[in-house]
Amino acid sequence: MGQHWALAGMLFPTLEFGIFFLIVFTVGWGLRAAPALRKYFLVAASYVFYGWWDWRFTGLLFATTLINYLGGLALGKAERVGFRKFIVGVTVAVDLGVLAFFKYYGFFLTSLDELLTTFGLHRDLPFLEIILPIGISFFTFQGISYVVDVYRGHIAAEKSLLDVMLFKSFFPQLVAGPIVRAADFIPQLHAPARLTRDHIAVGTVLILTGLAKKMVIANYLATELVDPVFFDPTAVGALDLLIGIYGYAVQIYCDFSGYSDIAIGVAALLGYRFRENFDQPYRASSLQDFWRRWHISLSSWLRDYLYIPLGGSRGSEAKTYRNLLITMFLGGVWHGAAWTFVIWGAFHGAMLGIERFVRTKLNELAPPQAGDEAQILSRLGNFAQHMVGVVWTFHLVCFAWIFFRADSFGTAQDYLKGFADWTGSHDHVTPFLVGLVALGMIFQFTPRNLGRELALAIRVLPSPLLGLLLGAGILVIWAVAPEGVAPFIYFQF
Amino acid sequence: MLDLLDDGNVDDDRLEAVRVADMERDEVTRRSVARFARAMWIVVALLLLFNSGQLITVVNGFGVGPVQDAAVALSTTWNEQMEKNGLAKPVAVIRAFVERLRGAGWSEVHDGAVELRGTYGEAKG
């Protein structure tokens, strides 16, 4: 019984990936005069990248891609509304069925077994050893977005299987996103691939910042703070628990946004543009704002393919709250088959509803005032309100992270109970770890265009200086980072 | 930052203008590829020179066989040469500095701050 992760693959911050990228960059651009050959090569490289984890799952990736492709073609030809609905329904059902089998089968049977045992109705259930294909949640969502976008008429059905294969398997985003939309990516495949100084500058900045975030901040915080504190929350003091959860907030941000940065940077160096996936999420002054900044490709996917089809905020207030709750609940379930993720999602959904309710009531009670004096007071009030909002939102998010990170509901409970006693030791509150947490938080409040300014400075560098900068950057990061490379957190989703 | 990556499509649909624009784009792409390829080879050289220890770790993961054994022997000799020439030192210095930071307690941070304040006071006085 159970579920295993296949995690012995090619990770971005390794020499293996460096060699792989060197080959892909050189051969890929060498084939730019033959666009079809270039696409074949990139698809082959992406399948090699994916097969590095477990070659058996390349068949699954191809099969689901073929289903999406055929679904898109059928939608392109069908005219009757009912038949189009049928096609999109079947294709999405197959996508979700595959995801459900690999990701939720074990969880469902375990939960059913526990329920039956509780009522004294124990049965032998058909448990299976299932290995979860890495990145399945990401490429399933990409496949769904493709057929739904074709159904909605946002994009034309793609006639080239090769383009759909590259869209779904393109290695920078394959295993942990960002979730790329067909409407964004497939048109780029129709145009000749281009590389400019801007692509190189953006790619260099993103790869270096991504590596630094992941290899230095996330890895140290994981091994020296978060893992020990979450391993047994009852063995550490309340201050350790507090810095532990702040540390996890920074770790998961640096881990996941670091991966996204590298993915976007690698794609840029191959001539493709992905959208931003993180926008300094911990500076958000409300949960709604947080979800506009955190894992943007997933939150916008959930908005466009779940929240809006459910009715969004178009119906009554009660229906809006229901839609928020369902969307966030399913967003939680998407992350994994565990009750802790269910609670995490449901908590966010409930708090988003409460936030919306309070905001509506406050606006009714204190409508915006007019006049100069009122404007000054209003600005001061807005600033104070904003700062309170930032601190409050960060702590709400941290509270939810406890459930997200804990390996069981019991561990999360122990973690929360630990805050009742502040007399224990605080061995993990060291200057080094506190400094890393502070550094991670500083990233949240730097000017938004800092990366852009760095890229603009880099774009004028001649190639020897660019090489020295990139090489020195990688060397320093490698020297500073702890030994070994931990897998990215989001690989398991 | 990603706004720097706009697709830059030409609006003008006159064939000649499009052809010239395409040629210019091709030339820009060719030069950019060459530029980044050169930069990457410099990165490879830097890593081989200053991070040769990592090379052994990677090569050791190749498995067993005559080619692999030769690669292991070559990378070990290379690493020894780099260490002999002092090229492994910068990474070792950085690692030692980080180790000191990791091991530092609050009292050392306090002492360091006091020392820094004293230096600043002397310089001002």
Per the CB < 8 Å rule, is A466 touching B36?
A: yes
Q: Which of A192, A470, A480 sits opposite B39 (nearest CB)?
A: A470
- Distance from the Cα of A459 to chain B's closest Cα (Å) equals 10
Q: B81 is written with which tokens? A: 């040469």
| B residues 38..97 contacting A (CB < 8 A) | 38-47, 50-51, 54-55, 58, 90-91, 94-95
pLDDT for the residue numbered A289: 94
Between chains, do B43 and A188 touch, taking CB under 8 Å as contact?
Answer: no
Distance from CA of A437 to the nearest CA of B (A): 14
For B100, the closest chain A residue by CA position comes to A432
Residue A458 and residue A67: Cα distance in Å, rounded? Answer: 43
Residue A385: per-residue pLDDT:
82
Task: Tell me the domain boundaries of chain A.
Answer: 2-193, 198-492
The dihedral over CA atoms of A40, A45, A47, A52, expressed in degrees to the nearest 10, equals 170
> Does B36 contact A463 at a Cβ distance shorter than 8 Å?
yes
SS3 state of residue B1: coil
Q: What is this structure's pTM?
A: 0.88
Query: Exposed, middle or buried by CB within 10 Å (0-12, 13-18, 19+), for A486?
Result: middle
> Is-catalytic flag, A335?
yes
Ordered per-residue pLDDT tens for chain A, 493 residues: 344 444 457 788 888 888 899 999 999 999 999 999 999 999 999 999 999 888 888 999 999 999 999 999 999 999 899 999 999 999 999 999 999 888 887 777 777 777 788 777 777 766 667 677 888 889 999 999 999 999 999 999 999 999 999 999 999 998 887 999 999 999 999 999 999 999 999 999 999 999 999 999 999 999 999 999 999 999 999 999 999 999 999 999 999 999 999 999 999 999 999 999 999 999 999 999 999 999 999 999 999 999 999 998 888 888 999 999 999 999 998 887 788 999 999 999 999 999 999 888 888 887 766 556 556 656 666 788 888 999 999 999 999 999 999 999 999 999 999 999 888 778 888 999 999 999 999 989 999 889 899 999 999 999 999 999 999 999 999 999 988 766 677 666 6
Burial A183-194 (b: 16+ CB within 10 A, else e): ebbbebbeeebb
Give the long-range contacts of residues B9-13, CB within 8 A, separation 24 or more: B9/A191
Predicted local confidence at residue A277, as pLDDT: 94
CA Rg value for chain A: 24
Q: What is the pLDDT of residue A439?
A: 94
**Long-range contact list for A433-439, CB < 8 A, 24+ apart?**
A433/A220, A433/A221, A433/A224, A433/A225, A433/A243, A433/A247, A434/A243, A435/B101, A436/A216, A436/A217, A436/A220, A436/A221, A436/A247, A436/A250, A437/A221, A437/A243, A437/A246, A437/A247, A437/A250, A439/A217
Contact A16 B58 (CB under 8 A): yes
Task: From A1, A315, A300, A226, select the one nearest A127 (Cα to Cα).
Answer: A1
Q: How far is A185 from chain B (nearest CA, A)?
A: 12
pLDDT of residue B70: 86
3-state SS class at A284: coil
> Look-up: residue for tokens 């409040």?
A445
Q: Which residue has the tokens 């100069």?
A: A372
Which residue out of A23, A189, A198, A433 would a mutagenesis test of the B interface target, given it has the greatest number of B Cβ atoms within 10 Å? A198
Which candidate from A206, A452, A467 shows the least CB-CB separation from B42? A467
Provide the token pair at B118.
Answer: 């004293």
User: What pLDDT tens digit does each residue of chain B (125 aa) get?
Assistant: 777 776 555 455 666 777 777 777 888 999 999 999 999 999 999 999 998 888 888 787 777 788 888 888 888 999 899 889 989 899 999 999 999 999 888 888 877 777 777 766 666 65
